[in-house]
Chain A
Amino acid sequence: MSWILILEQSLNGLQFGLMLFLLAAGLTLVFGIMDMINLAHGSLYMLGAFLASTFVQLTGSFVAGVLLAVPATAALGMLLEVSVLRTLYARDHLSQVLATFALILIINELVRLVWGSDASLPMPAALSGPVELVPGLRYSAYRLVIIGVGLLVAFLLFVLVTKTKVGMLVRAGASNREMALAMGVNIKGLFTAVFGIGAALCAVAGSMLAPLFAVQVGMGENILIVAFVVIVIGGIGSIRGALVGALLVGVVDTIGRAFLPVLLGTFFQPRVASAAGPAIASVMIYLIMAVVLYFRPKGLFPARG
Protein backbone atom coordinates (compact mmCIF):
# COMPACT_ATOMS: atom_id res chain seq x y z
CA MET A 1 0.00 0.00 0.00
CA SER A 2 2.00 3.00 -1.23
CA TRP A 3 1.37 6.64 -0.34
CA ILE A 4 0.72 7.32 -4.02
CA LEU A 5 -2.16 4.88 -3.97
CA ILE A 6 -3.48 6.47 -0.77
CA LEU A 7 -3.24 9.94 -2.35
CA GLU A 8 -4.93 8.76 -5.53
CA GLN A 9 -7.80 7.14 -3.63
CA SER A 10 -8.14 10.22 -1.43
CA LEU A 11 -8.54 12.36 -4.55
CA ASN A 12 -11.13 9.89 -5.85
CA GLY A 13 -12.92 10.17 -2.51
CA LEU A 14 -12.80 13.97 -2.67
CA GLN A 15 -14.18 13.91 -6.19
CA PHE A 16 -17.01 11.54 -5.25
CA GLY A 17 -17.72 13.53 -2.08
CA LEU A 18 -17.98 16.83 -3.95
CA MET A 19 -20.41 15.40 -6.48
CA LEU A 20 -22.42 13.87 -3.64
CA PHE A 21 -22.49 17.31 -2.03
CA LEU A 22 -24.07 18.81 -5.16
CA LEU A 23 -26.85 16.24 -4.92
CA ALA A 24 -27.23 16.47 -1.17
CA ALA A 25 -27.28 20.30 -1.03
CA GLY A 26 -30.59 20.58 -2.91
CA LEU A 27 -32.06 17.61 -1.10
CA THR A 28 -31.21 18.95 2.36
CA LEU A 29 -32.68 22.39 1.65
CA VAL A 30 -35.90 20.94 0.24
CA PHE A 31 -36.21 18.58 3.20
CA GLY A 32 -35.14 21.25 5.69
CA ILE A 33 -37.35 24.11 4.55
CA MET A 34 -40.50 22.36 3.40
CA ASP A 35 -40.23 19.14 5.41
CA MET A 36 -40.65 17.44 2.06
CA ILE A 37 -39.13 14.07 1.21
CA ASN A 38 -38.45 14.15 -2.49
CA LEU A 39 -37.34 10.74 -3.76
CA ALA A 40 -37.48 12.14 -7.30
CA HIS A 41 -34.40 14.27 -6.59
CA GLY A 42 -32.28 11.53 -8.15
CA SER A 43 -34.41 11.72 -11.29
CA LEU A 44 -33.21 15.30 -11.79
CA TYR A 45 -29.63 14.01 -11.61
CA MET A 46 -30.54 11.51 -14.34
CA LEU A 47 -32.32 14.17 -16.41
CA GLY A 48 -29.26 16.41 -16.12
CA ALA A 49 -27.05 13.65 -17.52
CA PHE A 50 -29.42 12.83 -20.41
CA LEU A 51 -29.94 16.50 -21.27
CA ALA A 52 -26.18 17.06 -21.21
CA SER A 53 -25.65 14.13 -23.61
CA THR A 54 -28.18 15.66 -26.03
CA PHE A 55 -26.80 19.18 -25.78
CA VAL A 56 -23.21 17.97 -26.19
CA GLN A 57 -24.26 16.14 -29.37
CA LEU A 58 -26.14 19.18 -30.66
CA THR A 59 -23.44 21.73 -29.94
CA GLY A 60 -20.40 19.52 -30.38
CA SER A 61 -18.95 21.08 -27.24
CA PHE A 62 -18.82 19.44 -23.82
CA VAL A 63 -18.71 22.76 -21.97
CA ALA A 64 -21.60 24.25 -23.96
CA GLY A 65 -23.60 21.06 -23.50
CA VAL A 66 -23.17 21.11 -19.73
CA LEU A 67 -23.88 24.83 -19.53
CA LEU A 68 -27.15 24.31 -21.41
CA ALA A 69 -28.14 21.22 -19.42
CA VAL A 70 -27.87 23.04 -16.08
CA PRO A 71 -30.53 25.75 -16.69
CA ALA A 72 -32.70 23.28 -18.64
CA THR A 73 -32.74 20.88 -15.67
CA ALA A 74 -33.36 23.78 -13.29
CA ALA A 75 -36.38 24.82 -15.39
CA LEU A 76 -37.71 21.25 -15.45
CA GLY A 77 -37.19 21.02 -11.68
CA MET A 78 -39.13 24.22 -11.05
CA LEU A 79 -41.90 23.03 -13.37
CA LEU A 80 -42.08 19.78 -11.40
CA GLU A 81 -42.22 21.72 -8.14
CA VAL A 82 -44.95 24.11 -9.23
CA SER A 83 -47.09 21.49 -10.99
CA VAL A 84 -46.81 18.43 -8.73
CA LEU A 85 -44.66 18.70 -5.62
CA ARG A 86 -46.31 21.86 -4.28
CA THR A 87 -49.52 19.90 -3.76
CA LEU A 88 -47.66 17.45 -1.49
CA TYR A 89 -46.23 19.86 1.09
CA ALA A 90 -49.21 19.64 3.39
CA ARG A 91 -49.29 15.83 3.19
CA ASP A 92 -47.50 13.48 5.57
CA HIS A 93 -44.12 11.93 4.77
CA LEU A 94 -45.62 8.61 3.69
CA SER A 95 -47.75 10.31 1.04
CA GLN A 96 -44.72 12.28 -0.13
CA VAL A 97 -42.60 9.13 -0.38
CA LEU A 98 -45.32 7.28 -2.32
CA ALA A 99 -46.00 10.19 -4.67
CA THR A 100 -42.36 10.95 -5.41
CA PHE A 101 -41.64 7.24 -5.87
CA ALA A 102 -44.39 7.30 -8.50
CA LEU A 103 -42.64 10.30 -10.04
CA ILE A 104 -39.40 8.29 -10.29
CA LEU A 105 -41.24 5.60 -12.28
CA ILE A 106 -42.97 8.15 -14.50
CA ILE A 107 -39.79 10.13 -15.19
CA ASN A 108 -37.87 6.92 -15.88
CA GLU A 109 -40.45 5.89 -18.49
CA LEU A 110 -40.54 9.37 -20.03
CA VAL A 111 -36.75 9.35 -20.33
CA ARG A 112 -36.91 5.87 -21.88
CA LEU A 113 -39.44 7.19 -24.43
CA VAL A 114 -37.36 10.25 -25.33
CA TRP A 115 -33.79 8.93 -25.14
CA GLY A 116 -34.05 5.17 -24.81
CA SER A 117 -32.54 3.21 -21.93
CA ASP A 118 -29.16 4.81 -22.11
CA ALA A 119 -27.16 7.54 -23.72
CA SER A 120 -23.51 8.29 -24.14
CA LEU A 121 -21.58 11.29 -23.04
CA PRO A 122 -17.92 10.83 -23.92
CA MET A 123 -15.18 12.48 -21.94
CA PRO A 124 -13.76 15.57 -23.69
CA ALA A 125 -10.68 14.46 -25.63
CA ALA A 126 -8.52 17.20 -24.14
CA LEU A 127 -9.17 15.86 -20.63
CA SER A 128 -9.04 12.15 -21.32
CA GLY A 129 -5.40 11.70 -20.38
CA PRO A 130 -3.64 11.75 -17.02
CA VAL A 131 -1.75 14.60 -15.43
CA GLU A 132 1.38 14.08 -13.34
CA LEU A 133 0.56 15.77 -10.03
CA VAL A 134 3.74 14.74 -8.21
CA PRO A 135 6.48 12.42 -9.44
CA GLY A 136 4.95 8.99 -9.62
CA LEU A 137 1.32 10.11 -9.30
CA ARG A 138 -0.46 10.37 -12.63
CA TYR A 139 -4.08 11.33 -12.07
CA SER A 140 -6.99 11.67 -14.48
CA ALA A 141 -7.23 15.24 -15.79
CA TYR A 142 -11.00 14.90 -16.08
CA ARG A 143 -11.36 13.86 -12.45
CA LEU A 144 -9.28 16.88 -11.47
CA VAL A 145 -11.65 19.09 -13.44
CA ILE A 146 -14.58 17.49 -11.58
CA ILE A 147 -12.86 18.32 -8.27
CA GLY A 148 -12.29 21.89 -9.47
CA VAL A 149 -15.90 22.31 -10.62
CA GLY A 150 -17.16 20.75 -7.38
CA LEU A 151 -15.05 23.11 -5.26
CA LEU A 152 -16.11 26.12 -7.34
CA VAL A 153 -19.81 25.28 -7.11
CA ALA A 154 -19.47 24.52 -3.39
CA PHE A 155 -17.78 27.91 -2.91
CA LEU A 156 -20.48 29.74 -4.90
CA LEU A 157 -23.18 27.95 -2.93
CA PHE A 158 -21.39 28.82 0.31
CA VAL A 159 -21.32 32.51 -0.70
CA LEU A 160 -24.99 32.38 -1.73
CA VAL A 161 -26.10 30.76 1.51
CA THR A 162 -23.88 32.62 3.99
CA LYS A 163 -23.33 36.05 2.46
CA THR A 164 -26.52 37.00 0.64
CA LYS A 165 -29.95 38.01 1.88
CA VAL A 166 -31.51 35.15 -0.11
CA GLY A 167 -29.20 32.75 1.72
CA MET A 168 -30.22 34.20 5.08
CA LEU A 169 -33.89 33.75 4.19
CA VAL A 170 -33.21 30.16 3.07
CA ARG A 171 -31.50 29.41 6.38
CA ALA A 172 -34.29 31.15 8.30
CA GLY A 173 -36.86 29.07 6.42
CA ALA A 174 -34.90 25.89 7.12
CA SER A 175 -34.78 26.54 10.86
CA ASN A 176 -38.34 27.80 11.43
CA ARG A 177 -40.66 27.88 8.45
CA GLU A 178 -43.67 29.35 10.25
CA MET A 179 -41.66 32.18 11.77
CA ALA A 180 -40.08 32.94 8.40
CA LEU A 181 -43.60 33.19 6.95
CA ALA A 182 -44.67 35.46 9.81
CA MET A 183 -41.67 37.68 9.04
CA GLY A 184 -42.90 38.12 5.46
CA VAL A 185 -40.83 35.55 3.60
CA ASN A 186 -42.62 34.26 0.51
CA ILE A 187 -41.89 30.63 1.28
CA LYS A 188 -43.59 29.35 -1.89
CA GLY A 189 -41.45 31.52 -4.14
CA LEU A 190 -38.36 30.84 -2.09
CA PHE A 191 -38.96 27.12 -2.27
CA THR A 192 -39.43 27.16 -6.05
CA ALA A 193 -36.13 29.03 -6.32
CA VAL A 194 -34.40 26.60 -3.94
CA PHE A 195 -35.82 23.69 -5.90
CA GLY A 196 -34.48 25.20 -9.12
CA ILE A 197 -31.04 25.63 -7.56
CA GLY A 198 -31.17 22.04 -6.28
CA ALA A 199 -32.09 20.78 -9.76
CA ALA A 200 -29.26 22.83 -11.30
CA LEU A 201 -26.79 21.26 -8.85
CA CYS A 202 -28.14 17.81 -9.78
CA ALA A 203 -27.50 18.64 -13.42
CA VAL A 204 -23.92 19.71 -12.68
CA ALA A 205 -23.30 16.41 -10.86
CA GLY A 206 -25.15 14.30 -13.44
CA SER A 207 -23.44 15.82 -16.45
CA MET A 208 -19.96 15.87 -14.88
CA LEU A 209 -20.18 12.25 -13.72
CA ALA A 210 -21.77 11.03 -16.98
CA PRO A 211 -18.48 10.37 -18.78
CA LEU A 212 -17.30 8.26 -15.80
CA PHE A 213 -20.48 6.27 -15.19
CA ALA A 214 -23.12 4.98 -17.55
CA VAL A 215 -25.87 7.42 -18.49
CA GLN A 216 -28.87 5.17 -18.05
CA VAL A 217 -32.43 5.08 -16.81
CA GLY A 218 -32.48 4.60 -13.02
CA MET A 219 -28.98 6.01 -12.48
CA GLY A 220 -30.34 8.43 -9.87
CA GLU A 221 -31.82 5.90 -7.50
CA ASN A 222 -28.70 4.35 -5.96
CA ILE A 223 -26.92 7.65 -5.50
CA LEU A 224 -30.08 9.15 -3.95
CA ILE A 225 -29.85 6.71 -1.04
CA VAL A 226 -26.26 7.80 -0.40
CA ALA A 227 -27.33 11.46 -0.65
CA PHE A 228 -29.96 10.82 2.06
CA VAL A 229 -27.24 9.27 4.25
CA VAL A 230 -25.18 12.44 3.70
CA ILE A 231 -27.94 14.82 4.80
CA VAL A 232 -28.80 12.71 7.83
CA ILE A 233 -25.13 12.75 8.89
CA GLY A 234 -24.75 16.47 8.18
CA GLY A 235 -28.03 17.58 9.72
CA ILE A 236 -31.18 18.12 7.71
CA GLY A 237 -31.40 21.61 6.25
CA SER A 238 -27.71 22.43 6.75
CA ILE A 239 -25.54 23.19 3.71
CA ARG A 240 -22.39 23.05 5.84
CA GLY A 241 -23.56 19.68 7.17
CA ALA A 242 -24.17 18.47 3.61
CA LEU A 243 -20.62 19.44 2.61
CA VAL A 244 -18.97 17.80 5.62
CA GLY A 245 -21.24 14.73 5.38
CA ALA A 246 -20.62 14.37 1.63
CA LEU A 247 -16.84 14.60 1.97
CA LEU A 248 -16.91 12.16 4.89
CA VAL A 249 -19.06 9.66 3.02
CA GLY A 250 -17.15 10.11 -0.25
CA VAL A 251 -13.73 9.59 1.29
CA VAL A 252 -14.76 6.78 3.64
CA ASP A 253 -16.62 4.90 0.91
CA THR A 254 -13.81 5.24 -1.65
CA ILE A 255 -10.93 4.54 0.72
CA GLY A 256 -12.86 1.72 2.34
CA ARG A 257 -13.52 0.00 -0.96
CA ALA A 258 -9.87 0.40 -1.99
CA PHE A 259 -8.09 -0.54 1.19
CA LEU A 260 -10.37 -2.66 3.34
CA PRO A 261 -9.70 -5.84 1.34
CA VAL A 262 -5.95 -5.17 1.71
CA LEU A 263 -6.31 -4.50 5.43
CA LEU A 264 -8.40 -7.63 5.99
CA GLY A 265 -5.81 -9.59 4.01
CA THR A 266 -3.34 -9.12 6.85
CA PHE A 267 -5.69 -10.99 9.23
CA PHE A 268 -7.57 -13.43 6.99
CA GLN A 269 -6.91 -15.60 4.00
CA PRO A 270 -6.88 -13.62 0.69
CA ARG A 271 -10.05 -15.35 -0.51
CA VAL A 272 -11.98 -14.33 2.63
CA ALA A 273 -10.49 -10.83 2.62
CA SER A 274 -11.36 -10.15 -1.01
CA ALA A 275 -14.94 -11.35 -0.46
CA ALA A 276 -15.54 -9.59 2.85
CA GLY A 277 -13.69 -6.33 2.07
CA PRO A 278 -16.08 -4.76 -0.46
CA ALA A 279 -19.10 -6.02 1.51
CA ILE A 280 -17.91 -4.36 4.73
CA ALA A 281 -16.85 -1.23 2.84
CA SER A 282 -20.34 -0.85 1.42
CA VAL A 283 -21.90 -0.77 4.90
CA MET A 284 -19.31 1.59 6.40
CA ILE A 285 -21.22 4.76 5.48
CA TYR A 286 -24.31 3.37 7.19
CA LEU A 287 -22.22 2.56 10.26
CA ILE A 288 -20.99 6.15 10.31
CA MET A 289 -24.58 7.34 10.05
CA ALA A 290 -25.58 5.10 12.97
CA VAL A 291 -22.70 6.42 15.11
CA VAL A 292 -23.51 10.06 14.27
CA LEU A 293 -27.20 9.51 15.02
CA TYR A 294 -26.33 7.86 18.34
CA PHE A 295 -24.21 10.78 19.55
CA ARG A 296 -25.91 13.62 17.64
CA PRO A 297 -29.47 12.63 16.71
CA LYS A 298 -29.98 15.84 14.72
CA GLY A 299 -26.79 15.34 12.70
CA LEU A 300 -23.43 17.11 12.86
CA PHE A 301 -24.72 20.60 12.04
CA PRO A 302 -28.45 20.73 12.74
CA ALA A 303 -30.16 23.67 10.97
CA ARG A 304 -32.83 23.89 13.62
CA GLY A 305 -30.24 24.48 16.34
Chain B
Amino acid sequence: MLLEVQGLETAYGTSQVLFGLSLCVAEGEAVTLLGRNGMGKTTTVRSIMGLSRPRAGAITFRGRRIERERPDRIARAGIALVPEGRQIFPNLSVRENLVAFAENRSGRADPWTVEKVLEFFPRLAERAENMGNQLSGGEQQMLAIGRALVTNPYLLILDEATEGLAPLLREEIWKCLARLRAAGQTILVIDKYIERLVQLADRHTLIERGRVAWQGTSAELDADRNLWHRYLGV
Protein backbone atom coordinates (compact mmCIF):
# COMPACT_ATOMS: atom_id res chain seq x y z
CA MET B 1 0.00 0.00 0.00
CA LEU B 2 1.15 3.51 -0.76
CA LEU B 3 -0.94 5.07 2.01
CA GLU B 4 -2.53 3.27 4.92
CA VAL B 5 -4.61 5.06 7.54
CA GLN B 6 -5.55 2.98 10.59
CA GLY B 7 -7.93 3.96 13.40
CA LEU B 8 -7.47 7.70 12.93
CA GLU B 9 -8.91 9.91 15.67
CA THR B 10 -8.59 13.67 15.31
CA ALA B 11 -10.16 16.44 17.34
CA TYR B 12 -10.21 20.23 17.38
CA GLY B 13 -9.95 21.03 21.08
CA THR B 14 -12.73 19.12 22.78
CA SER B 15 -14.63 18.52 19.57
CA GLN B 16 -13.70 15.14 18.12
CA VAL B 17 -14.18 14.83 14.36
CA LEU B 18 -12.67 11.48 13.37
CA PHE B 19 -13.47 8.28 15.26
CA GLY B 20 -11.18 5.44 14.26
CA LEU B 21 -11.22 6.14 10.54
CA SER B 22 -9.30 3.74 8.31
CA LEU B 23 -8.60 3.79 4.59
CA CYS B 24 -5.89 2.82 2.16
CA VAL B 25 -4.64 3.82 -1.25
CA ALA B 26 -2.53 1.51 -3.42
CA GLU B 27 0.02 2.76 -5.93
CA GLY B 28 -1.59 3.79 -9.23
CA GLU B 29 -5.11 3.81 -7.71
CA ALA B 30 -7.66 6.59 -7.65
CA VAL B 31 -9.62 6.52 -4.41
CA THR B 32 -12.35 8.86 -3.25
CA LEU B 33 -13.39 10.05 0.16
CA LEU B 34 -17.09 10.86 0.12
CA GLY B 35 -19.56 12.18 2.61
CA ARG B 36 -21.82 15.08 3.41
CA ASN B 37 -20.44 18.40 4.67
CA GLY B 38 -18.94 18.29 8.15
CA MET B 39 -18.43 14.51 8.18
CA GLY B 40 -14.63 14.77 8.48
CA LYS B 41 -13.32 14.54 4.90
CA THR B 42 -11.11 17.64 5.09
CA THR B 43 -10.01 16.73 8.62
CA THR B 44 -8.88 13.35 7.29
CA VAL B 45 -6.81 15.09 4.62
CA ARG B 46 -5.42 17.57 7.13
CA SER B 47 -4.44 14.69 9.41
CA ILE B 48 -2.67 12.87 6.57
CA MET B 49 -0.80 16.08 5.69
CA GLY B 50 0.19 16.70 9.34
CA LEU B 51 -1.76 19.96 9.46
CA SER B 52 -4.06 18.59 12.19
CA ARG B 53 -2.32 16.31 14.68
CA PRO B 54 -4.27 13.04 15.24
CA ARG B 55 -4.95 11.97 18.80
CA ALA B 56 -4.67 8.32 17.94
CA GLY B 57 -4.21 6.01 15.00
CA ALA B 58 -1.46 5.32 12.52
CA ILE B 59 -0.73 6.77 9.10
CA THR B 60 1.80 4.86 7.03
CA PHE B 61 3.11 6.27 3.77
CA ARG B 62 5.46 4.15 1.66
CA GLY B 63 6.13 1.98 4.69
CA ARG B 64 6.98 4.92 6.97
CA ARG B 65 4.87 6.13 9.89
CA ILE B 66 4.07 9.81 9.36
CA GLU B 67 1.31 10.66 11.87
CA ARG B 68 3.79 12.55 14.08
CA GLU B 69 5.80 14.11 11.24
CA ARG B 70 5.89 17.83 10.41
CA PRO B 71 3.73 18.86 7.44
CA ASP B 72 6.74 19.98 5.38
CA ARG B 73 8.43 16.59 5.86
CA ILE B 74 5.24 14.78 4.85
CA ALA B 75 5.00 16.91 1.71
CA ARG B 76 8.64 16.30 0.86
CA ALA B 77 8.07 12.56 1.36
CA GLY B 78 5.84 12.79 -1.70
CA ILE B 79 2.28 13.77 -0.80
CA ALA B 80 0.92 16.86 -2.55
CA LEU B 81 -2.29 18.59 -1.60
CA VAL B 82 -4.68 20.60 -3.76
CA PRO B 83 -6.49 22.20 -0.85
CA GLU B 84 -10.07 23.26 -0.41
CA GLY B 85 -10.34 26.90 -1.51
CA ARG B 86 -7.25 26.56 -3.78
CA GLN B 87 -5.03 28.65 -1.51
CA ILE B 88 -2.60 29.66 -4.22
CA PHE B 89 -0.08 32.29 -3.20
CA PRO B 90 -1.60 35.61 -4.30
CA ASN B 91 1.67 37.56 -4.14
CA LEU B 92 3.52 35.15 -6.42
CA SER B 93 3.09 35.10 -10.18
CA VAL B 94 1.71 31.97 -11.86
CA ARG B 95 5.22 30.96 -12.90
CA GLU B 96 6.59 31.66 -9.41
CA ASN B 97 3.81 29.58 -7.82
CA LEU B 98 5.22 26.68 -9.86
CA VAL B 99 8.97 27.43 -9.85
CA ALA B 100 9.05 27.77 -6.05
CA PHE B 101 7.99 24.15 -5.54
CA ALA B 102 9.33 22.39 -8.64
CA GLU B 103 11.16 19.30 -7.43
CA ASN B 104 11.24 15.64 -8.40
CA ARG B 105 10.21 14.25 -5.01
CA SER B 106 9.25 10.82 -6.35
CA GLY B 107 12.32 10.60 -8.58
CA ARG B 108 10.22 9.71 -11.60
CA ALA B 109 11.94 9.25 -14.93
CA ASP B 110 9.77 11.73 -16.80
CA PRO B 111 9.07 14.37 -14.16
CA TRP B 112 6.59 17.19 -14.25
CA THR B 113 8.44 20.44 -14.87
CA VAL B 114 7.17 24.01 -14.89
CA GLU B 115 7.12 23.97 -18.69
CA LYS B 116 5.23 20.66 -18.80
CA VAL B 117 2.61 21.99 -16.40
CA LEU B 118 2.21 25.10 -18.54
CA GLU B 119 1.77 22.84 -21.58
CA PHE B 120 -0.78 20.75 -19.68
CA PHE B 121 -2.73 23.91 -18.76
CA PRO B 122 -2.44 26.26 -21.77
CA ARG B 123 -4.61 28.82 -19.94
CA LEU B 124 -1.90 29.12 -17.27
CA ALA B 125 0.79 29.53 -19.92
CA GLU B 126 -1.09 32.56 -21.24
CA ARG B 127 -1.15 34.07 -17.77
CA ALA B 128 2.27 32.92 -16.56
CA GLU B 129 3.39 36.38 -15.52
CA ASN B 130 0.09 37.37 -13.84
CA MET B 131 -0.05 37.38 -10.07
CA GLY B 132 -2.01 34.62 -8.37
CA ASN B 133 -4.74 36.99 -7.21
CA GLN B 134 -5.38 38.13 -10.79
CA LEU B 135 -6.63 34.71 -11.90
CA SER B 136 -10.21 33.50 -12.26
CA GLY B 137 -11.46 30.73 -9.98
CA GLY B 138 -10.89 28.08 -12.67
CA GLU B 139 -7.40 29.31 -13.44
CA GLN B 140 -6.58 29.34 -9.72
CA GLN B 141 -7.75 25.74 -9.51
CA MET B 142 -5.55 24.74 -12.44
CA LEU B 143 -2.65 26.50 -10.77
CA ALA B 144 -3.32 24.70 -7.48
CA ILE B 145 -3.23 21.36 -9.36
CA GLY B 146 -0.16 22.40 -11.35
CA ARG B 147 1.60 23.53 -8.17
CA ALA B 148 0.99 20.10 -6.67
CA LEU B 149 2.11 18.31 -9.84
CA VAL B 150 5.49 20.09 -10.11
CA THR B 151 6.46 18.49 -6.79
CA ASN B 152 6.11 15.13 -8.61
CA PRO B 153 4.28 13.49 -5.74
CA TYR B 154 3.69 9.80 -5.22
CA LEU B 155 0.21 10.70 -4.00
CA LEU B 156 -1.91 13.63 -5.16
CA ILE B 157 -4.75 14.64 -2.81
CA LEU B 158 -7.50 16.87 -4.17
CA ASP B 159 -9.91 18.40 -1.67
CA GLU B 160 -13.02 19.76 -3.40
CA ALA B 161 -11.11 20.64 -6.56
CA THR B 162 -14.24 21.49 -8.55
CA GLU B 163 -16.06 23.41 -5.83
CA GLY B 164 -17.42 26.78 -6.89
CA LEU B 165 -16.46 26.39 -10.55
CA ALA B 166 -18.72 27.02 -13.54
CA PRO B 167 -19.85 23.79 -15.29
CA LEU B 168 -17.48 24.23 -18.26
CA LEU B 169 -14.48 24.81 -16.02
CA ARG B 170 -15.52 21.89 -13.86
CA GLU B 171 -15.49 19.69 -16.95
CA GLU B 172 -12.01 20.90 -17.76
CA ILE B 173 -10.81 19.89 -14.29
CA TRP B 174 -12.44 16.45 -14.62
CA LYS B 175 -10.74 15.92 -17.98
CA CYS B 176 -7.44 16.94 -16.44
CA LEU B 177 -7.90 14.45 -13.59
CA ALA B 178 -8.78 11.72 -16.08
CA ARG B 179 -5.54 12.41 -17.97
CA LEU B 180 -3.53 12.29 -14.75
CA ARG B 181 -5.25 9.04 -13.84
CA ALA B 182 -4.46 7.58 -17.26
CA ALA B 183 -0.84 8.60 -16.79
CA GLY B 184 -0.72 6.45 -13.64
CA GLN B 185 -0.84 9.18 -10.99
CA THR B 186 -2.09 7.90 -7.63
CA ILE B 187 -4.96 10.11 -6.51
CA LEU B 188 -7.05 10.56 -3.37
CA VAL B 189 -9.97 12.80 -4.22
CA ILE B 190 -12.75 14.46 -2.27
CA ASP B 191 -15.62 15.89 -4.27
CA LYS B 192 -19.39 16.07 -4.48
CA TYR B 193 -19.95 15.08 -8.09
CA ILE B 194 -20.43 11.40 -7.52
CA GLU B 195 -21.33 10.53 -11.13
CA ARG B 196 -17.95 11.80 -12.28
CA LEU B 197 -16.13 10.17 -9.38
CA VAL B 198 -17.63 6.79 -10.18
CA GLN B 199 -16.15 7.13 -13.67
CA LEU B 200 -12.79 8.40 -12.45
CA ALA B 201 -11.95 6.31 -9.39
CA ASP B 202 -11.34 2.65 -8.60
CA ARG B 203 -12.53 2.57 -5.02
CA HIS B 204 -14.61 4.75 -2.72
CA THR B 205 -14.85 5.37 1.01
CA LEU B 206 -18.05 6.85 2.38
CA ILE B 207 -17.69 8.52 5.74
CA GLU B 208 -20.39 9.47 8.19
CA ARG B 209 -19.64 11.47 11.35
CA GLY B 210 -15.97 10.67 11.32
CA ARG B 211 -16.39 6.93 10.76
CA VAL B 212 -16.14 4.81 7.64
CA ALA B 213 -19.71 3.90 6.70
CA TRP B 214 -18.98 1.98 3.52
CA GLN B 215 -16.08 1.04 1.26
CA GLY B 216 -16.26 -0.49 -2.16
CA THR B 217 -15.55 -0.34 -5.85
CA SER B 218 -17.02 2.00 -8.43
CA ALA B 219 -19.25 -0.77 -9.80
CA GLU B 220 -20.63 -1.46 -6.31
CA LEU B 221 -21.26 2.21 -5.59
CA ASP B 222 -22.83 2.76 -8.99
CA ALA B 223 -25.18 -0.17 -8.43
CA ASP B 224 -26.42 0.86 -4.99
CA ARG B 225 -28.26 4.18 -5.25
CA ASN B 226 -29.43 3.72 -1.71
CA LEU B 227 -25.88 4.53 -0.59
CA TRP B 228 -25.96 7.76 -2.58
CA HIS B 229 -29.16 8.76 -0.89
CA ARG B 230 -28.25 7.67 2.64
CA TYR B 231 -24.70 8.97 2.90
CA LEU B 232 -24.43 11.68 0.29
CA GLY B 233 -27.93 13.12 0.20
CA VAL B 234 -28.08 12.59 -3.56
Binding site for B on A (CB under 8 A): 165, 168-169, 171-172, 174-176, 178-187, 238, 303-305
Known: A168-B96, A168-B100, A172-B100. A182 touches B89 (CB 8 A): no
Known: A172-B89, A175-B89. A184 touches B133 (CB 8 A): no
The secondary-structure label for the interface of chain A is helix
- A183 interface neighbour in B90, B101, B133, Cβ under 8 Å: B101
Cβ of B199 under 8 Å from chain A: no
A181 pairs with B72, CB closer than 8 A: yes
Within the assembled complex, what's the spacing in Å between the Cα atoms of A29 and B75?
A: 24
B71 pairs with A305, CB closer than 8 A: no
A residues less than 8 Å from B147 (CB atoms): 183
B72 pairs with A187, CB closer than 8 A: yes
B87 pairs with A165, CB closer than 8 A: no
Most buried by A among B96, B132, B147: B96
A residues less than 8 Å from B76 (CB atoms): 184
- B92 interface neighbour in A171, A182, A187, A304, Cβ under 8 Å: A171
- Closest residue to B49 on the A side, CB-wise? A182
Binding site for A on B (CB under 8 A): 49, 51, 70-72, 75-76, 80-81, 83, 87, 89-92, 96, 99-101, 103, 105, 131-133, 147, 151
B residues less than 8 Å from A165 (CB atoms): 99-100
B83 pairs with A179, CB closer than 8 A: yes
- Closest residue to A184 on the B side, CB-wise? B75
B90 pairs with A182, CB closer than 8 A: no
A305 pairs with B49, CB closer than 8 A: no
B99 pairs with A182, CB closer than 8 A: no
B residues less than 8 Å from A187 (CB atoms): 72
Within the assembled complex, what's the spacing in Å between the Cα atoms of A92 and B171?
A: 44
Within the assembled complex, what's the spacing in Å between the Cα atoms of A127 and B105?
A: 53
- A-B residue pairs in contact (CB < 8 Å), sample of 16: A168-B99, A171-B92, A171-B96, A172-B89, A175-B91, A175-B92, A178-B71, A181-B51, A181-B75, A182-B49, A182-B51, A183-B80, A183-B100, A184-B72, A304-B90, A304-B91
Known: A165-B100, A168-B99, A169-B100. A175 touches B51 (CB 8 A): no
- Closest residue to A183 on the B side, CB-wise? B101
B residues less than 8 Å from A176 (CB atoms): 87, 89
Known: A168-B99, A183-B101, A184-B151. A175 touches B90 (CB 8 A): yes
A182 pairs with B100, CB closer than 8 A: no
The distance from the CB of A256 to the nearest CB of chain B, in whole angstroms, is 32
Within the assembled complex, what's the spacing in Å between the Cα atoms of A276 and B151?
A: 61
The distance from the CB of B87 to the nearest CB of chain A, in whole angstroms, is 5
The distance from the CB of B141 to the nearest CB of chain A, in whole angstroms, is 14
**Nearest 8 interchain pairs by C-beta:** A305-B90, A184-B75, A168-B100, A181-B71, A305-B133, A184-B76, A179-B87, A172-B89
Within the assembled complex, what's the spacing in Å between the Cα atoms of A187 and B50?
A: 14
A residues less than 8 Å from B89 (CB atoms): 171-172, 175-176, 179-180
A182 pairs with B91, CB closer than 8 A: no
- Closest residue to A178 on the B side, CB-wise? B51
The distance from the CB of A180 to the nearest CB of chain B, in whole angstroms, is 8
The distance from the CB of B174 to the nearest CB of chain A, in whole angstroms, is 24
A184 pairs with B101, CB closer than 8 A: yes
B residues less than 8 Å from A175 (CB atoms): 89-92
